[in-house]
Amino acid sequence: MTPLPTRRGVLAAGAVLLALWAAPALAEKRAFEMTIEDTRINLVEQRGFHTFAFNGQVPGPLIHVVEGDDVEVTVTNMTTLPHTIHWHGMIQRGTWESDGVPDMTQKAIAPGETYTYRFTAVPSGTMWYHCHVNVNEHVAMRGMWGPMIVDPKKPTAVEKEVTKDHILMLSSWASQWADKPGQGGLPGDVFDYFTLNGKAFPDTTPITVKKGDVLRLRFIAAGDAIHSIHLHGHVFEVAFKDGHPLPAPYKADTLLIGPGERYDIIVRADNPGRWMIHDHVDSHTVNGDKPHGGIMTVIEYEGIPKDQPWYHWAHKAPVADFYYEESLKAGKHGLLENPAYKGTPAN
């Protein structure tokens, strides 16, 4: 967002104020640099995985821009395999060569090479980016994805109500290939780890709210599984599909989402308590052969005591910005990294 308050201080007349509403229409130029790195991350506890990670993190950095911004991303491939970046949801008007598909819109970026993507951020909404080379391995299993949020110039009524914004990227992993980069992601593979922003329970982190909050949960199905997300204690509203406002938002407590889809749901925090949010595909709540893992977390309300002796997360220190909730706050635009997602160099 352009720095409206400052301008507002300078300007006075009503007619000029009117013009201010159009101010965000002035496209910003956003130039970013990214790397793709052989990176080892931990999905949960000691379960490591060799990924090809954007800026060495999974999920990759948040690209947070405004509708109409001119975006330039210069990518350097520091791995030993070819890659590209597809900006899933961006329509690339007039810039099809920046669509990021190997042998279709560009030659893949060879190891050691650099490539620059340029496009206008249209349309607004919950988008994401990912590699488009050997997607069955690189996207489905090597963590080559990150979120891209394009703020609308004209938010909808419900968007204006939101007090807390969160990104939840879902993925699955086949541990048999954890240490074999360049292989795997084939029919018949057993996917046995399941993550929320790259982590499986109990290494996920609570979502904290206070009564009266209006949560926006932006789900992005980044891996190769279909998920059925269930929220306890609330009826939510399914408000956006693939970034676009639904013409007839509907109520639900369980959300089916398939690879590449995004759904934004609105949760009105009107029911203090402690509430699970998890994949209802039951086999997605295991870590390998151990139950009670995978895609699970908890919404904790302020003021609910956590001192029950049986509460699993009584002494859990929440990880800041785990759902990019800090990075999504108004005015924070740019390419926003997240230390919580950083791995260590592999090889």
DSSP H helices in the chain: 4-10, 14-20, 135-138, 157-161
Site for its own copies in 308-337 (CB under 8 A): 309-313
- Token output for 19: 């013009």
Q: What is the DSSP letter of 96?
A: G
Cβ atoms 100, 127 nearer than 8 A: no
When asked if residue 69 is in the footprint of its own copies (CB under 8 A), the reply is no
Cβ atoms 2, 23 nearer than 8 A: yes
Q: Count residues contacting its own copies (CB under 8 A)?
A: 85
Contact stretch for its own copies (CB under 8 A) within 62-70, 147-155, 160-168, 289-297: 289-297
- Token output for 93: 């008007």
Paired residues of 125 in beta bridges: 150
Residue closer to its own copies, measured from CB, 92 or 327: 92
Residue closer to its own copies, measured from CB, 19 or 104: 104
When asked if residue 10 is in the footprint of its own copies (CB under 8 A), the reply is no
Residue closer to its own copies, measured from CB, 121 or 327: 121
Shortest CB 69 distance to its own copies, Å: 18
Site for its own copies in 87-116 (CB under 8 A): 88-89, 91-94, 96-97, 99, 101-107
Shortest CB 304 distance to its own copies, Å: 8
Contact stretch for its own copies (CB under 8 A) within 24-32, 75-83, 210-218, 258-266: 258-266
Site for its own copies in 119-138 (CB under 8 A): 123, 132, 134-137
Residue closer to its own copies, measured from CB, 256 or 336: 256
Bond before 339 cis per omega within 30 degrees: no
Site for its own copies in 266-285 (CB under 8 A): 271-276, 280-283, 285
Residue closer to its own copies, measured from CB, 282 or 326: 282
Shortest CB 328 distance to its own copies, Å: 21
Extended beta strands in 3-156, E state: 29-44, 47-54, 62-66, 70-77, 86-88, 114-120, 125-130, 145-151
Question: In angstroms, what CA-CA distances link 344 with 38, 49, 220, 297?
Answer: 9, 11, 25, 25
Cα separation, 168 vs 258, in Å, equals: 14
When asked if residue 158 is in the footprint of its own copies (CB under 8 A), the reply is no
Binding mask 159-188 for its own copies (x = CB under 8 A): --------------------------xxxx
Cα separation, 188 vs 281, in Å, equals: 19
When asked if residue 256 is in the footprint of its own copies (CB under 8 A), the reply is yes
When asked if residue 189 is in the footprint of its own copies (CB under 8 A), the reply is yes
Judge residue 86's burial from the number of C-beta atoms within 10 Å of its C-beta, 0-12 exposed, 13-18 middle, 19 or more buried: buried
Residue closer to its own copies, measured from CB, 13 or 289: 289
Cα separation, 253 vs 274, in Å, equals: 16
Site for its own copies in 193-252 (CB under 8 A): 221, 224, 226, 228, 230, 232-235, 241-244, 246-252
